[in-house]
Amino acid sequence: MTDDDALREIIEGLQQAEKMISPKYFYDERGSQLFDKITQLPEYYPTETELGIMRANIDEFAQLMGPQASLIEFGSGSSRKTRVLLKNLIEQAVYVPVDISEQHLLESARRLRSEFPDLEILPVVADFTRPFELPSPTVMPLRNIVYFPGSTIGNFTHDAAIELLKVMHHGAGNGGAMLIGVDLQKDPNIIERAYNDSAGVTAEFNLNVLRRLNREYDSDFDLDAFTHKARYNSDAGRIEMRLINSCDQIVNVGTEVISITAGEGILTEYSHKYTLDGFAAMAESAGFRVAKVWTDADELFSIQYCVRT
């Protein structure tokens, strides 16, 4: 996606009846750093819960993936969870981290190369919601494993999630598979606390998207006029995160003028929480069959291994 395409997408989102900004614009260098901080907050259960599931079942993960596999991680970020896999996979052929935040991705790849000097690491800067070209590794992998940890699949609407899963289906190729983190439906109070942390890191992460638009896309949002709001919509089974504007303001975005009234919100993220049956049906729509599911004891979170049908 070019800068012109991105600006056009941003403007179209802000011109909708309910203004919105795609969550992919969170992840400039500062946004990626803030998200890394979020994953370490006491209220944010997904990361540590997922890591616990991985560590308890890592031998089974490695056996299912098999030897000489290519691990293709969508939205790799700091690759914290990936290290657990890289230390345990059998004769891995190549690791391909894919992320839209170039500087953060390349720095993460540099650190991983120092930790795993015998592993070929080929980072790809791309918007992974769209098809992209995979690099050619030195050792031809026997199969591709698409890896999508965290709860990022929940950031997409149902239809958009299916389209993304189709991109992953293509990336997995014949005989390939997908290993994906899926957040589960649970007590709404647990969920809301995770997105309204007491340290205010999630609020700063949310506001940073406007800071980025001001810096990179010729915008002039009054940042002091916006506050973070995240609430759980039980009917839709999702967190809805918004930036709420406190005063009437006219914002220039590129060559367009956007009017935002007092009390109006800008939707910045959904985070859907799934039932196991609900996710299995969605995966099937994209050509995957859920072959194995691991959860923690409290069933807060799941890791799912899906094969192509």
pLDDT of residue 76: 78
Between the CA of residue 205 and those of 5, 20, 253, what are the distances in Å? Answer: 23, 16, 20
pLDDT of residue 190: 97
pLDDT of residue 1: 61
What is the spatial distance between Cα 228 and Cα 248, in angstroms, rounded to a whole number?
A: 17
pLDDT of residue 4: 85
Residues of the chain with pLDDT under 70: 1, 78
Q: Concatenate the DSSP letters of all residues of 96-149 into one string.
A: EEEES-HHHHHHHHHHHHHH-TTS-B--EES-TTS--PPP--SSPPSEEEEEE-
- pLDDT tens, 215-241? 999 899 999 999 999 999 999 999 999
For helices 158-172 and 276-285, the axis angle rounded to 10 degrees is 60
pLDDT above 90 as % of the chain:
88
Radius of gyration of the chain (CA): 19
Listed residue (186, 187, 206, 183) closest to 196, CA to CA: 206
Between the CA of residue 173 and those of 72, 143, 270, 308, what are the distances in Å? Answer: 12, 8, 29, 8
Domains of the chain: 45-186+274-308 (3.40.50.150)
- pLDDT tens, 277-304? 999 999 999 999 999 999 999 999 999 9
pLDDT of residue 80: 78
